[in-house]
Structure 1
Amino acid sequence: MAVLYLVVAGAMSRRQWSNTFCTACLLRNGMPQEREVLGHIYASETRYLYRRLLKMSGLVAVLTFAPVAIGFYKTPDSILAKIVSIYVPLALMVADILYMRFRYSLVGTLREKEAEEKFPFEGKFKLIRILVIKDEKVYFVENEGIKDTPFAFTEPFDDEVSHRTAQRYMADMLGESPDNDTLRFCYGTIDPINRRSIEHYLYFAGDKSEIRQYEEKTGKRGLWLSKPELEQNFSHGFSRLVCSEFHRIYTVMQTSKLYFPNGKKKILIKGYKPSFSLSELKHAEVDFSDNRWMLLSRFNKDVSFYTLKKAWHRYIEGLN
């Protein structure tokens, strides 16, 4: 077992300690940026966990093989050999599991308490975010070097989509009540256990005068970024939620141009990556909240070992 752990940890170190998503978890809860406690653990402690695994595996491997290599045991089936090679490593692993369980139980409690103090409605809330798009540009306000949409608010948690609430909010902010074409629901993520959710909307401005009025009203000054500018600077300078939103938009748009909802390819060119414009988002006949597109982007006939992965996803993970 220790050798297996070392092999896994070594493979991860070669990948620069980067992790992958559990597909079911990704579809159910969204990106780590859209989660609370689990998102914090995933984003902040991945490297710590892998390095801890590497150290623990190394210790167990030394305890298991070093005494044999130096001839410490008179006979390999002696009581001392069994204690050192079986029970001591097992005790170390159990102790480590209990420690990590206690650690993340404590982290969860602290984060929940922080959420109750930091967020409104005692942490049981819905966050509504609205990205403003005009032609081929997106509007952001920069705060302490981080670009984000200024149009966001919270309300008490409920299961219903808050499209009308978002319309009233934008009417208050910009002075005009948007219709269903102007304000489009993009997608949402929900945590029913902790009673939190995030809804993401796209607002298509008629002209920039609406935003200028908003800036005069609030004293804020924003900037318009084109799609190429977003792509060039996407790795830094944006809030985590903006990164999550555009990851979803890009993935769904490109995947829906390549595949039908049933997984059949539209364009039979391997490696082809379609492009799209921001103005297409207003009338794109695609459901951004449909998780099939996210699943298809990670699992399609262009990936290696397609048949094996198909069987795994269908019969082990239950994703059809």
Structure 2
Amino acid sequence: METFPKKPAKPRAEKTRVGAVTLRDVARVANVSVATASRALTGTGLASAETQKRLIQVAADLGYRPNTFARGLKTKSSKLIGLAIHNLENASFRVLAEVVQTRMRALGYEVILSITSDDPGQERSTLATLADHSIDGLIVVPTGANGPQLLGLENAGIPVVCVVRRDEGALLESVLAADPEGAYAGTRHLLALGHRRIGLIVGREDTTSGKERLAGYLRALHEAGLPVDRALIHHGRYVPETGVTAANALLALKEPPTALFVANHESSLGVLRVVSERGISVPDDLSLLCYEDTPWFEWQRPALSVVDSGASEMANLVVDRLMQRIGGAANGGREYRVGVRLIERASCRALEGR
């Protein structure tokens, strides 16, 4: 792997010729090969994060603006859009995939769907593969670990729009649900029913959605004048097993919760398994509130109350934003929010003797 010299390059002083700045110019100023410059600026290959960061800065200093397909063999629009999501267990991701494909096909594009399993390594590989396929744009639910690669795609002329989560390591357009407000509304609903020990099962602490849903829960408790019992809060990966582990731990407490707020959609399956295995009656023994609606929540008995994050609205908005970007709109790193709503069904009830 090629490395930078210890003495910093002087991009502006090196730019002497008249005309458009080329990738070869960027490589020469940074003292690396054209191949290394290309890999770093497109987020492909094995360029280190430091190398990539410095090359992006050199390119910006020189005013490098790649010809859409001079970055590879691309000479015209590929009419391909990348869509990178974590899984198809999450109802929001399924809706996202369906809406994006339907909308993009109507606009004359095909969608390459990639499953990253919320794994940074798989995401890195996916981004490299999508770049190799000369996609015209990318919609991604980011893991949060590959901001430099996403910025590299942007720098190579591939518009990127994040959805569901933002990547805190990259200034990119993002379409998100109003997660702080959604978790706040859900917790307030349970408090209004008289519950004071409310267990929260939420996503990873290092994701924006996990942080924001926790923040909404804490805000509601604070406004109600209730202390925060950390034993009632469980973080975990977005998989059913998290729900199993968390529900068992919460229900085994000396003073177990009277209500569970499952703000980690994939964990809902695991929670329902535990409730069934323990012979717990919902809502008589335990009120249950979930996050992100899906048709089977309504078919479940009792039908599950839910905070719906507006997956269809997010999907339509992210397509609109991507098409604006493909049309030439600049990336301003702007954040767009879609409203959430509480859907009351039959899985929550007022606590007796409140």
Structure 2 length normalisation: TM-score?
0.23
- Report the structure number with the largest CA radius of gyration: 1
Structure with the higher fraction of residues in helix conformation: 1
Structure 1 length normalisation: TM-score?
0.25
